[in-house]
């Protein structure tokens, strides 16, 4: 298991993984965001550790604080935006479902030029 990966928006570390769940720490750099995306095979639960990211789930936007939590059901479009100019956003992500591979990401918008699925 590769437990650390760098992304254009920051990095993530896998803390735990088995057949039923995967737990990651996401660190999103200032001014960065993950792509607007969904997943076919997994749900996600987010716990905000540090920062005040904008959380987009379906058609709603949430202004978050440390200790806030969010549930993202599979197939729901979602995004995390770190609008801070100075502070990293740190989030604990718990994935549940039938598959946890990074190739389960369906992208709709991406500021880094990664593949987009047009729907």
Task: pLDDT tens for the chain, 119 residues: list them.
Answer: 569 999 999 999 999 999 999 999 999 999 999 999 999 999 999 999 999 999 999 999 999 999 999 999 999 999 999 999 999 999 999 999 999 999 999 999 998 988 887 65
Residue of 66, 64, 77 lying closest to 105 (CA atoms): 77
Q: What is the pLDDT of residue 118?
A: 60
Q: Is the pTM of this model over 0.95?
A: no
Percent helix / strand / coil, the chain, rounded to 5: 5, 55, 45
Domain at 4-109: CATH code: 2.60.120.10
Q: What is the pLDDT of residue 2?
A: 63
* CA pair distance 24, 11, nearest whole angstrom: 10
* CA pair distance 72, 114, nearest whole angstrom: 22
How would you list the strands of the sheet with 10-17, edge to edge? 4-7, 10-17, 21-28, 89-97, 42-50, 69-72
Q: What is the pLDDT of residue 42?
A: 97
Q: What is the pLDDT of residue 1?
A: 54
* CA pair distance 81, 56, nearest whole angstrom: 8
Cα angle, residue 17 at apex, residues 95 and 104 outer, rounded to 5°: 50
Listed by start position, the domains of the chain span 4-109
């Amino acid at each position: 298991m590769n437990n650390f990966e760098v992304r254009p928006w920051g990095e993530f570390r896998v803390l735990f993984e088995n057949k039923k769940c995967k737990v990651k720490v996401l660190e999103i750099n200032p001014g960065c965001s993950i792509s607007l995306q969904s997943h076919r095979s997994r749900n996600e639960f987010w716990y905000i550790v540090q920062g005040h990211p904008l959380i987009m789930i379906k058609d709603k936007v949430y202004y978050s604080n440390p200790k806030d939590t969010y549930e993202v059901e599979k197939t729901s479009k979602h995004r995390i935006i770190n609008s801070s100019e100075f502070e990293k956003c740190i989030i604990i992500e718990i994935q549940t479902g039938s598959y946890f591979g990074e190739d389960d990401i369906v992208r709709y918008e991406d500021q880094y030029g990664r593949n987009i699925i047009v729907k």
